[in-house]
Amino acid sequence: MAHVSYKTKALVLGSLPRGEANSVCILLTPDLGLVYVHAQGIRFEKSKLRFSLQDYSITDIMLVHGKTGWRITNAVCIEAISVDKEALRVVARVSNLVKRLVAGEEKNEELFALCVDNMGILSQKKYSHAELSRIEMVWVLRVLFNLGYIDGDNSLREIISIPLSSISSYDGLDTIRSEALGQINRAIESSQLLF
């Protein structure tokens, strides 16, 4: 039986080492959702795919689905995130949240675009600690809203719709910060995923 190849864009959310040179890459795709993909020999220095599948990079990828799951056949890096250490911690925390909350393979173009766009905004300039805190809070709210953990009819609807690049200058955010953090905590608690 012939395997069908799938070509898609992917955001690499992380990887898990398997054996001497293999890895399982965790990818967020617009078409397939969150997929765990086996990458054979990727940790060898001679591997052609090694630099295309670095954490938090955006990649054009070819996948096949077989008896043992998804496998990577080809990947080309479109963009690797370039941020400072503090911004990288924000990206890592939000990526971990996405990995915990997204339940398997389900098409979600909006979540993919949200994560790619927000990483792009973090790459544009160096943000202060306070700005990064605001960006992270709004990004998490948007992820939770997209996944249905936060209701769109509440008072946070306005900040969910503001462009992330404008968050650092949005005055209304500080007045509803405690409500936003409360909503985030309740949403994570209701997911029953302990962190």
What are the boundaries of each domain within the chain? Answer: 5-80, 85-190
Give whole-number Cα distances, 134 to 64, 155, 173, in Å. Answer: 39, 17, 8
How many CB atoms are closer than 10 A to CB 105? 15
68-76's contacts with Cβ under 8 Å and 24+ in sequence apart are: 68/38, 69/36, 69/37, 69/38, 70/35, 70/36, 70/37, 70/38, 71/37, 71/38, 71/39, 71/40, 72/25, 72/37, 72/38, 72/39, 72/42, 73/5, 74/49, 75/10, 75/49, 76/52
pLDDT for 38 equals 86
**Residue 153 has what pLDDT?**
61
Fold of 5-80: OB fold (Dihydrolipoamide Acetyltransferase, E2P) (2.40.50)
pLDDT the model gives residue 58: 92
Cβ proximity of 158 and 138 under 8 Å: no
Which has more pLDDT, 174 or 13? 13
Name the pLDDT band for 193 (thresholds 50, 70, 90): low
d(CA 78, CA 8): 12
Is the pLDDT score of 195 beyond 60? Answer: no
pLDDT number for residue 168: 65
The 10s digit of each residue's pLDDT in 111-139 is 999 999 988 888 888 888 888 888 888 89
Residue type (1 letter), 35? V
Cross-strand partners of 12 = 27
Output the pLDDT for position 115: 92
How far, in Å, CA of 148 to CA of 80, rounded? 29
Mean pLDDT of the chain: 83
Using DSSP, state whether 121 is helix, strand or coil: helix
Q: DSSP class of residue 54?
A: -
Average pLDDT rounded to a whole number, residues 45-74:
83
Indicate whether 84 pLDDT > 70: yes
pLDDT > 60? residue 65: yes
| Band (96; pLDDT cuts 50, 70, 90) | very high
Coil, strand or helix at 52:
helix
CA-to-CA distance for 95 and 49, rounded, in angstroms? 21
Report the range of poorest mean pLDDT among 60-64, 95-99, 181-185. Answer: 181-185
State the amino acid at position 81 in one-letter form.
Answer: I
Strands 33-39 and 22-29: antiparallel
**Does residue 30 or residue 186 have the better pLDDT?**
30
CA distance 178 to 157: 15
pLDDT tens digits for range 133-179: 888 888 988 898 888 888 766 667 777 777 777 776 666 677 777 77
